[in-house]
Amino acid sequence: MQPFLKETFIGIPSLSRPEYITKKTMSWAKELPNVKVFVEPKERFLYKYYLGDAVETLPESKQGLMYSLNHIRRYAKEKGFKYLFQLDDDVDGFARIDTEEPLDAFMQTLSDCYQAMEQFPSIGGIRFTQYRYWLYSKKNLHKWTHLNKPLQGIAMIRLDAVEEINPDMREFTDTLTSLYMWKKGFHTLNYGLSGLKVVQNANKGGCQVYDRKQDALNTIHLLQKDFPEVKEKSGSSWFGVDVDISYYLDKYRYTSLNCEDDSLQNHLSNCKFE
């Protein structure tokens, strides 16, 4: 097994849509080694009906997404993995210039990201370009498009770069991971050679079963204890609340790159945090 597969665990949190994940993410990801779908105890048997041994059960139900992510990251660390590739349960796949076959495109993407994280120890996480933006830039693609842009739910993470995060902060989990990662001195990157095919918030189940507006307000309040310049703002999401981290984007030097591996080291060296 190649090192990028051997050292990377693929974890997928899922809630209340076992049939859907079977048609989406697991339609192609089931062929990968070290892939598990994490579900709540009350839904274990239903998910196992569709996915069999790929299912792992969380200790408790109704604890929120941050609780699930903490558990997945802890599970991967305890199993001896160096990296975690977080996937959502509604991913159609990745596309590249030379292939739109999801598994092939994913393998190439994972290999590139693994090599970068091995070469540059300050990279804590890598996010991916949405398919529509990738298509728009298809004639002028760059491997690395942004430095210290907040991660998304679908991301490759260096497990040593993340600590457990207060599970009572149920919303903005990608932003939380990014802020605590930056605070620890790690960088995040956006990878530009693949287009990520996913339609978010378009399907029943998932986090939509929670009262997300109240969870969002609670998260912002708790987050301000560690990041006092975080603010609440109106959001375009269906629950209407978002988090403003503009102060920290400036502090941690969010930057457009559009570069390749040969110049990445210079950008990372010039962006050391206090």
- Quote the pLDDT of residue 240: 84
Cβ partners under 8 Å of residue 212, min gap 6: 171, 237, 239
Q: For residues 172 and 233, is the Cβ–Cβ distance under 8 A?
A: no
Find the CATH number of the domain harbouring 64. 3.90.550.10
* Residue 151 lies inside a defined structural domain of this protein: yes
* Residue 221 lies inside a defined structural domain of this protein: yes
Mean pLDDT, rounded, for 223-228: 98
Name the more confident of 192 and 240: 192
Residue type for 73, please?
Answer: R
* Residue 3 lies inside a defined structural domain of this protein: no
Residue 58 pLDDT greater than 60, yes or no: yes
* Residue 1 lies inside a defined structural domain of this protein: no
Q: For residues 165 and 147, is the Cβ–Cβ distance under 8 A?
A: no
- For 69-78, the pLDDT digits (tens) are 999 999 999 9
Longest Cα–Cα distance of the chain, Å, equals 51
Which one, of 133, 187, 199, 179, lies nearest residue 156 by Cα? 187
Residue spans of beta strands (DSSP E) within 54-110: 55-57, 83-86, 91-95
* Residue 274 lies inside a defined structural domain of this protein: no
Report the chain's mean pLDDT, rounded to a whole number: 93
- Quote the pLDDT of residue 139: 86
Q: For residues 122 and 186, is the Cβ–Cβ distance under 8 A?
A: yes
Residue 210 pLDDT greater than 80, yes or no: no
- Quote the pLDDT of residue 215: 92
* Residue 130 lies inside a defined structural domain of this protein: yes
> What single DSSP character describes residue 190?
E
Domain count within the chain: 1
Residue 202 pLDDT level (bands cut at 50, 70, 90): low
Mean pLDDT, rounded, for 244-260: 96
How far apart are the C-alpha atoms of 44 and 210, rounded to whole Å? 19
Q: For residues 90 and 26, is the Cβ–Cβ distance under 8 A?
A: no
CA distances for 267 relative to 56, 186, 252, angstroms:
39, 13, 13
Which of 20-29, 97-106, 208-217 has the lowest average pLDDT? 208-217
Rounded to a whole number of angstroms, the distance between the first and last alpha carbons of the chain is: 39
How far apart are the C-alpha atoms of 178 and 89, rounded to whole Å? 21
* Residue 198 lies inside a defined structural domain of this protein: yes
* Residue 22 exposure: Cα atoms within 13 Å on the Cβ side: 12
Which of 127-136, 169-178, 192-201 has the lowest average pLDDT? 192-201
How far apart are the C-alpha atoms of 11 and 154, rounded to whole Å? 10
Residue 207 pLDDT greater than 70, yes or no: no
| Domain enclosing residue 64, as ranges | 8-269
* Residue 231 lies inside a defined structural domain of this protein: yes
Whole-model pTM?
0.94
